Structure 1
Amino acid sequence: MSFYDATVPAYLQILNSLSGLLSKAEAHCEVKKIQPEVLLGSRLYPDMLPLSKQIQLATDFAVRGCARVTHSEVPSTPDTEKTFEELRQRLARTVDYVKSFKSEQFEGADTKDVTFPMGPDKTMTLKGQQFISNFSLPQFYFHAAIAHGILRHNGVEVGKRDYMGAN
């Protein structure tokens, strides 16, 4: 299996499932007469980030993961989304961006150095494989899973199949 095949499809699977989760969440709000901003602002615990930020961070880790490992320019993505539709559009743009990468861009990237920020004044350097396997994908999955957990916690009827998405 190529490095590309171990990376890009993993991001795409969950990005697409997050879009489906948001559609179910929006429908839940309509049926239960819940203001969308209430669910979008929901957290699993008071010191955790809200649903909308979990989606934004998941997209950030997919975009930055692909960009950094291929030594492409990391695009800036401001966090301005306030509605389900705006978050689905962000997910769609992220899917398009991730799909824009070609397998050739990942050739040899698993052994190249990837330097990335680890706070305001600190960076870390890992080999591409370590960066994807030990940092980017775990962070990506964490925020996607927390988004799913927030929805479940708030009564949205979603399960593991919804999280895993269509293969």
Structure 2
Amino acid sequence: MSFSVYDVTVPVMLRGLAVMDDYLLHAQNLERSKSLDPGSVLTSRLAPDMLTFGEQFAVNCNKVELHMTKLMNRIQVAPHEVAMIYPALQGRLLETRSFLQTIEPEDVESAQTLIHQPTPSVAQGWFGADDYIRYVVLAEFFFHIAVAHAILRHLGAPLGKKDYLGHFTPHGGVDYS
């Protein structure tokens, strides 16, 4: 069985963005349940040199658009500035999901014939599409989700692997629970 560039990017990213949307709800619930200042989780980070919880969302959405426009061989969009408040971050997730939903399989069909250069801070050199998707696009995407998950766990949010994996839709009547 082979997977297309579309198969390993768009549906995977849509699912991951839904997980991030759930994490925003977990963050708000955590603030309420622990009587934390509203928005305080958004400014939390794991280490001084890491992005905050809120920045994980903004950066991931910008990266999704950057990587997908590269794979579509289109002019790249400028990164969006997002206010570090829940409604703005939820809006940015929705905007990014809407962008992904406009992508058709044929839009990324030629991606495997292109050579991609990631931003210098991520990796040096040029990558064929398969390696670019495997080692840069998906790795970066899941890194930001994992860090957001870790920040919530560190602050005491009651979530686990099932939250990280997201909601499964069983195929063929199979129960995966």
Both proteins in one fold, TM over 0.5: yes
**1:94 Cα deviation (Å)?**
0.6
**1:32 Cα deviation (Å)?**
1.9
Q: Deviations over 1:94-128 (max 9, x none)?
A: 11111111100111312311234315xx9743212
Please identify the structure whose Cα radius of gyration is greater. 2
| Higher helix residue share | 1
Aligned counterpart, 1:126:
127
Aligned counterpart, 2:82:
80
TM-score normalised by the chain length of structure 2: 0.86
Q: What is the identity, as a one-letter code, of the residue corresponding to 1:110?
A: Q
Moved more, 123-132 or 54-63: 123-132
Instruction: Give runs of aligned pairs for residues 50-129 of structure 1, distance below 5 A.
Output: 50-119=52-121, 124-129=125-130
Q: Deviations over 1:30-64 (max 9, x none)?
A: 22221133211101122211101111122122111
Distance in 2 (alpha carbons) for counterparts of 1:94 and 1:164: 19
TM-score normalised by the chain length of structure 1: 0.90
Gaps of 5+ in 1: none
| % identical aligned pairs | 28
Gaps of 5+ in 2: 169-177
Distance in 2 (alpha carbons) for counterparts of 1:123 and 1:44: 26
Distance in 1 (alpha carbons) for counterparts of 2:105 and 2:95: 19
Aligned counterpart, 1:147:
148
Q: What is the identity, as a one-letter code, of the residue corresponding to 1:127?
A: G
Count of residue correspondences? 165
Which one has more relative contact order, counting CA pairs under 8 Å at least 6 apart? 1
Q: Where has structure 1 moved over 4 Å in runs of 4 or more?
A: none
